[in-house]
């Protein structure tokens, strides 16, 4: 499991790289807005964020809690990697992304298992809670689905299949075929699970 020091190093490395970049180009590639102060504005699971330039920092703009360091690093990784490639419109499973098999167990632990465990017996909650984290109704996949926009050019489709007398509920988190232009495979595994945990927290509140 990654330690705080690891997240800090990850954040610092991306911050150093982004400090050398043209933020206007970064904004264009990432689907972010270039602010008057030279920083960036973007939505993150339905929350407005600021990415300040000097010093480089990630801030929530909605008065809510600040993002954990791991999520701040994720935002910077996205900005650093984004290249403006449009979505393909083709949804794939995590196994189909580059090195997906290597990170499969992490993806299952972070995303697939929590999705089924929490929503499997109450699928009607998925679209309701998805709306709180930048989500909207999904496509005609499974019995229930929702599409959550994690970042301006990264979306996940959460899909549930209801169980019956023979089979337990099943679920999966799908992503656009071009997601690798915006997040590394390790970051995809993290980002795919975040909306589920955020929805669970919202339900408990």
Please report whether residue 86 resides in a domain. no
Q: Is the pLDDT of residue 3 over 80?
A: no
pLDDT tens for each residue of 157-184: 999 998 777 889 999 999 999 999 999 9
Query: Are 37 and 100 members of one domain?
Result: no
Residue 173 belongs to some domain of the structure: yes
What's the predicted TM-score (pTM) here? 0.94
Whether residue 153 sits in one domain with residue 126: yes
Last residue of a domain, one of 81, 99, 133: 81
Give the angle 41-196-94 at the CA atoms, nearest 5°: 90
What pLDDT is stored for residue 2 in this prediction? 60
191 and 148 both lie in a single domain: yes
Residue 93, pLDDT above cutoff 70:
yes
Domains held by the chain: number: 2
> What pLDDT, in 10s, does the model give residues 13-52?
999 999 999 999 999 999 999 999 999 999 999 999 999 9
The verdict on 56 and 141 lying in the same domain is: no
Last residue of a domain, one of 40, 57, 81: 81
Q: With bands split at pLDDT 50, 70 and 90, how would you rate the model's confidence at 54?
A: confident
Tell me what pLDDT residue 164 has: 78
Domain region containing 75: 4-81
User: In terms of domains, do 110 and 167 share one?
Assistant: yes
H helix intervals, the chain: 4-18, 23-30, 69-81, 104-107, 113-119, 125-130, 185-204
Averaged confidence pLDDT in the chain? 94
Shared domain for 195 and 100, answered yes or no, is yes
């Amino acid at each position: 499991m990654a330690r705080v020091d690891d997240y800090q190093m990850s954040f610092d490395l991306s911050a150093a790289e982004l400090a050398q970049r043209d933020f206007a180009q970064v904004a264009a590639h990432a689907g972010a807005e270039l602010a008057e102060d030279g920083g960036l504005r973007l939505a993150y699971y339905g929350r407005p964020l600021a990415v300040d330039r000097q010093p480089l920092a990630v801030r929530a703009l909605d008065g809510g809690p600040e993002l954990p360091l791991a999520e701040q690093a994720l935002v910077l990784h996205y900005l650093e990697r984004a290249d403006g490639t449009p979505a393909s419109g083709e949804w794939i499973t995590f196994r189909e992304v580059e090195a997906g098999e290597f990170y499969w167990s992490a993806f299952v632990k972070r995303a697939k298992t929590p999705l089924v465990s929490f929503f499997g017996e109450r699928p009607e909650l998925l679209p309701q809670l998805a709306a709180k984290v930048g989500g909207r109704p999904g496509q005609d996949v499974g019995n229930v689905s929702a599409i959550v926009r994690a970042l301006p050019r990264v979306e996940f489709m959460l899909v549930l299949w209801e169980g019956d007398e023979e089979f337990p509920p099943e679920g999966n988190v799908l992503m656009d075929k071009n997601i690798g232009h915006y997040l590394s495979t390790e970051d995809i595994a993290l980002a795919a699970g975040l909306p589920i945990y955020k929805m669970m927290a919202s339900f408990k509140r």
